[in-house]
Amino acid sequence: MYYPIYKRLLFKACLVLKALILVFPLDSATRFCILVLPSIASIVPKKKGKKTYYYAVESARVNGQPRIVHQDYLGTAERVAALVKDRSAPVPVAATAREFGLSGALWLAAKQTGVFDLLQSLWPEPRSGPSPAHYILLAAIHRICEPGPKTEVQDWYERTALPTLWHFPADRFTSQAFWDCFESILPAAGLAQPDAPDPLDLAQSRLLALWQQRHPATRRLLAYDTTNFYTYIASTNDRASLPQRGHNKQGRHNLRQVGLSYLLDGENGISICHHVYSGETCDADEFSVALERIGRMLDENKIERESVTLVFDKGSASVPNTVLLEESRTGWISALPWNQAPEQLRSRAVEPLPQCSSNLPGVRAAAEKILVHGKEYLCVIKYSASFAGEQLHSLATSMAKAMQSLRRLSIELTKPKCRYTEQGIRAKISRLLSAQFLEELIPYQLEHRDGCWRLQYDLAPKCFENLTQQRLGRTVLITNRMDWTAEQVAAGYGGQQHIERVFRGLKDGHWLGWGPMFHWTDRKIRIHAFYCMLGISLLQYLHKQAEAAWSGVTLEELIDQLKEIRQIVLLYPPQGDKGPNRSATVLAKQSLAQQELAKGLGLDLLFENPRRR
């Protein structure tokens, strides 16, 4: 009953073969030319035993002789007839979605920039299994895509496209495997070779040389800043000396913290170097250590110190650090604390300040050579309208919260059972007015009358007027670049915004989740910082590439769009009664923005639509 159907199928195949021969006139005469395409398809029967099986065969000429270049198994005549009758492809029995866009783009960036090859040269590949470079890179990618402990890496890795790219099973990336790898990267003091350079410092220096080759520049603006990250390391843990209690910038003063000094390229956003230090060390004390490390790395990579301009904020500005900067022979731009700024700059009105070009919208700046810290430097008064608006918004929010809290406190003090002492009341008011400028803006009076405490507060309008006219939006800058204009200094200090965005991205997890940090030894904490900063460099590289395909895209938007690019693995039933299931890999439907990003980042280099097998 199937044979007539199969004959019709062969007849259709013959029509297709005839269509491959094109006949067309060369001119008005009756001459014709026959053009034969280089390959043709046909259905060929093959008899095995007492059964006949059919194959779709693609033939072509190889060295002038006809040869079969590809063939696909179709099955018996009954199966071919069933396929023709159904006129549809086989229905998959299962489908699996894998994360492809973000993890694939980061892996491709590590290959294109040479970062992966560099890591493999530092820590050679073992005889079998993943290399330390795989573990370092996987830890960085995991912190970007789905931050969590190393116990979750194995399951997450299996849900990505990395197993098909690396050809390593998921059980090779257990938590114990990461621990053993990190022990080999940074061994204990007793196991390390004597007089050997620190492996992580050497890796940072080699990475700096790599980025220098890819991003050569004559005007190097290097932004420097410090921050700290709280940990959940117990107070009784004496195996770690880096986590210590101090002033935490996230307000978690009750927890042990580690400090991080960070230097990046202010123009390209690429990580230059970093240093993890004890959480009890203040920013000004860390600056001298960081400056020595920066100078050593510049010398190792043959970067002239005079061509570098360090940019840092007022937290590191002090007289001893200014002396160290002069000895380092590098250029620098720093913000001055308001109480250290020259009086003639602080009192200047905003309106006479010259406006900057359209490259710095809403910014006014003026420069003047003034004696500061015992030497003449170029000082710049900078006014930013957007910065003033942000400060005013923050100030209004703080004032509203403080006044509401003072009102509740005033009502509570009038209750008969109130047991507050004067010292306790003033301490609580001091905490409520601890935000910047509030003590000046909200004066209060506290007196004891009729057996209870009376609290009265007000808003000082004159102080608020002086604050908006002479303080908000202003920044006083100091530099040893005496030949720069005020606009050049203001633009150079703008590179500090890159490092502030990096710190925000690390702490809120929108870029890369630094915390929670599941490590409790100094060596593991240092490795954690290394692969986190490596991940930031890869993200910045992707962002630069993506801007060519999508102008104005933010890093947060880029991460969100890449996360939506998924890979679908379809599982089909086997051909015939026996054999394994066949699989096919396709990409999920993408938006226009995702298509442009995938094309601009070269994700098509990683994905090839394979034949079902």
Average pLDDT over residues 436-465: 89
Range in 184-193, 196-205, 323-332, 410-419 with the lowest mean pLDDT: 184-193
> Between the CA of residue 111 and those of 91, 106, 107, 116, 512, what are the distances in Å?
37, 9, 6, 6, 20
Q: Under CATH, to which class is 199-351+363-380+478-545 assigned?
A: alpha beta
Percent of the chain predicted with pLDDT > 90: 43
| Whether the bond into 580 is cis, omega within 30 of 0 | no
Range in 78-92, 240-254, 313-327 with the lowest mean pLDDT: 78-92
Distant-in-sequence, close-in-space partners of 436: CB < 8 Å, separation ≥ 6: 395, 398
Amino acid at the residue 299: D
At 5 the pLDDT is 43
Would you kindly state where each structural domain of the chain is located, as residue ranges?
3-86, 199-351+363-380+478-545, 388-470
Range in 38-42, 137-141, 217-221, 322-326 with the lowest mean pLDDT: 217-221
At 577 the pLDDT is 66
How confident is the model over 482-501, as pLDDT tens digits?
999 999 999 999 888 888 88
Q: Is residue 11 over pLDDT 80?
A: no
Residue spans of beta strands (DSSP E) within 464-597: 474-479, 566-572, 582-587
Distant-in-sequence, close-in-space partners of 599: CB < 8 Å, separation ≥ 6: 549
Burial annotation 87-124 (CB, 10 A radius, 16+ → b, else e): eeeeebeeeeebbbbbbbbbbbbbeebebbebbbebbe
Nearest partner of 471 among 345, 597, 571, judged by Cα: 345
Joined together, the tokens standing for residue 243 give 């986590």
CA–CA distance, 576 with 135 (Å, rounded to integer):
42
3-state secondary structure of 387: helix
In this structure, the strands spanning 308-312 and 220-230 are parallel
At 29 the pLDDT is 45
Longest dimension (CA), the chain: 124
Q: Band the pLDDT of 576: cuts 50, 70, 90.
A: low
User: Is the model more confident about 78 or about 137?
Assistant: 137
Q: Is residue 155 over pLDDT 80?
A: yes
Joined together, the tokens standing for residue 66 give 């006809």
At 608 the pLDDT is 57
At 39 the pLDDT is 62
How confident is the model over 322-375, as pLDDT tens digits?
889 988 889 999 999 888 888 888 888 888 899 999 889 999 999 999 988 888
With both helix axes pointing from N to C terminus, report the angle between 385-413 and 422-432 in degrees, rounded to the nearest 10.
160
